[in-house]
Amino acid sequence: MHKYWLRQSGIEGDYVPLHVSAADLETVLRALPKMGFVGANVTIPHKERALEIADSVSARAAEIGAANTLFFNEDGEITAYNTDGYGFITNIRTNAPTWNAVDAPALILGAGGAARAVISALLDAGSPHIYLGNRTRARAEYLAAQFGSQVQVIEWDAISDSIHDVGLIVNTTARGMNGQDDLILPFEQAKSDVIVNDLVYTPLQTGFLRDAERCGLTAIDGLGMLIYQGVPGFQKWFGGNPKVDNALREVLLR
Ligand code: NAP
């Protein structure tokens, strides 16, 4: 994705994967600016630790408790950002322009790192209420406690009960990823204008999204979130305005 944008923008640069052990993370991050790197993305299992290592942390990354995007200044100081929530909300708004977070509650399935970013973005966008269901209830309770009374934990076995009430349903669990069973919800009980989003993007078309489409609902896949979370990083590292279009999606799908 970043290589595509670099080519499109005519910028001489590169984006390379580096496999780093947890024990070496700080040493590597401190060395990268000295080697000419302008920043980095960090992913599991480094997202929380990167926040501790950073010299400064954006308010959003602090709220989410994890970083995914790092920027190095000329002195090698590290600023940590989290752009997952931005990627999530931009994907929804782009694919469902009439959706407005303030209009109806949301149903979030899963309580891992991705759910944290999604909830933070939804509350920021004015969501009046969030139902949160997770297989391990204690994890949902822990997450909800950090966000306050707008986030209501519901039983995993009873997630269907709130479906008629919501305007947005998001699967942030790993269910539906290649090799995992699909999540099944009674979408026929949902309002006709409900937006259904799956963060899983391998496969792109999960059974969860297929079921939603079959019921005539707007189904949004997870690739858009992955793409949009990369936009602020590219802008900070390289400048310019990276374009998100079908050609980019095609490149990524290939
Ligand atoms: P995580 O922190 O490990 O959390 C995993 C979540 O999935 C937990 O809520 C876990 O429930 C749930 N889960 C796993 N297997 C399950 C199963 N068989 N049945 C029910 N629940 C199950 O991972 P994460 O970072 O939040 O990522 C979650 C998913 O979002 C992944 O598929 C990831 O690829 C995707 N994601 C996509 C994007 C994007 O840009 N589109 C960005 C971030 C993440 P328990 O607490 O009960 O274990």
Tell me 57's DSSP state. Answer: E
One of 34, 47, 236, 243 is an active-site residue; which one?
A: 47
Mean pLDDT of the chain: 96
> Is the model's pTM score more than 0.85?
yes
Distance CA 238, CA 8 (A): 12
**Could you please report the per-residue DSSP string of 88-148?**
HHHHHHHH-TT--GGGS-EEEE--SHHHHHHHHHHHHTT-S-EEEE-SSHHHHHHHHHHH-
Give the distance (Å) from ligand 1 centre to CA of residue 80.
Answer: 22
Which residue, judged by its Cα, is nearest atom 2 of ligand 1?
A: 112
Give the distance (Å) from ligand 1 centre to CA of residue 112.
Answer: 6
Residue type, 190: A
Looking at residue 179, its pLDDT comes to 82
CB 68 within 8 Å of CB 43:
yes
Distance CA 88, CA 190 (A): 22
Give the pLDDT confidence of 124-167 residue by residue, as tens digits. 999 999 999 999 999 999 999 999 999 999 999 999 999 999 99
Active site annotation includes 243: no
Which residue, judged by its Cα, is nearest atom 23 of ligand 1?
A: 112
Looking at residue 240, its pLDDT comes to 86
CB 237 within 8 Å of CB 94:
no
- Tokens at 197, concatenated: 């989003």
Q: Cβ neighbours of residue 35 under 8 Å, at least 6 residues apart?
A: none
Which CA distances in Å does 152 have to 105, 141, 211?
11, 9, 25
Looking at residue 183, its pLDDT comes to 95
Pocket of ligand 1 (CB under 6 A): 84, 87, 110-115, 134-136, 139, 172-175, 177, 180, 199-201, 222, 225-226, 229
Distance CA 254, CA 249 (A): 9
Helix-, strand-, coil-residue percentages of the chain, each rounded to 5: 45, 15, 40
Distance CA 173, CA 206 (A): 12
- Tokens at 214, concatenated: 């079959």
10-residue averages of pLDDT along the chain (254 residues) = 96 96 98 97 95 97 95 97 98 98 98 95 97 98 95 97 96 92 96 97 95 98 97 96 94 92
